């Protein structure tokens, strides 16, 4: 498909980057959906992740760093995780407070977000630990081969227990990937 035809079709299907978009897409990043925010600005879903407003800029949150996203009553609520460290081959995560975005025109963004977040999860399970528990998740990362092993603890969970769990699971995954 020619570049001109693709741009024309993108404009018709809400996949064209808005003129006031404050982020910078990579050359291989495809726009999958654009939503107009109530009060101005946009949320842009791409092949790499979700571009969220951040002051007068936009910042990309990779699909593998979105712990939860819900769509209800005209608002997209996103819980983003920060990488806080690593143990063995596991990445430790901590959730940020939920970010609620009222969408004036949602377009395809809610369905794209749902598909990409759930599609990035290869496996997940919850383990009870002292003071709470932790989610152990294997996720694909857009633009990379393989998966990343993530451990995200519930609030109040003993962090030594989380690190021990992460080390044990990473060792088990390593043995599965590279048998002796």
Residue pair 170/89 in contact by the 8 Å Cβ criterion? yes
- Which residues, 6 or more positions from 150, have their beta carbon under 8 angstroms from its beta carbon? 64, 81, 90, 91, 92, 93, 135, 136, 137, 138, 139
Per-residue pLDDT at 173: 86
Per-residue pLDDT at 89: 93
Q: List per-residue pLDDT tens for the chain, 180 residues long.
A: 555 554 454 444 455 788 888 899 998 999 999 999 998 899 999 999 999 999 889 999 999 999 999 999 999 999 999 999 999 999 999 999 999 999 999 999 999 999 999 999 999 999 999 999 999 999 999 988 999 999 999 999 999 999 999 999 999 987 665 444
Q: d(Cα 44, Cα 57) in Å, to the nearest integer?
A: 13
């Amino acid at each position: 498909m020619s570049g001109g035809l693709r741009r024309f079709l993108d404009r018709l299907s809400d996949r064209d980057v808005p003129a006031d978009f404050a982020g910078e897409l990579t050359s291989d990043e495809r726009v999958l959906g654009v939503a107009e925010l109530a009060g101005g600005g946009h949320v842009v879903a791409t092949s790499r992740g979700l571009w969220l407003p951040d002051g007068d800029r936009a910042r990309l949150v990779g699909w593998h760093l979105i712990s939860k996203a819900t769509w209800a009553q005209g608002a997209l609520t996103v819980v983003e995780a920060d990488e806080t460290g690593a143990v063995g081959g596991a990445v430790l995560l901590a959730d940020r407070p939920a970010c609620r975005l009222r969408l004036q025109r949602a377009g395809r963004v809610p369905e794209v977000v749902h598909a990409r977040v759930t599609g990035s999860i290869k496996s997940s399970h919850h383990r009870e630990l002292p003071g709470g528990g932790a989610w152990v998740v294997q996720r694909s990362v857009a633009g990379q081969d393989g998966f990343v092993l993530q451990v995200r603890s519930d609030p109040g969970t003993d962090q030594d227990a989380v690190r021990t769990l992460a080390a044990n699971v990473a060792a088990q995954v390593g043995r599965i990937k590279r048998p002796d």
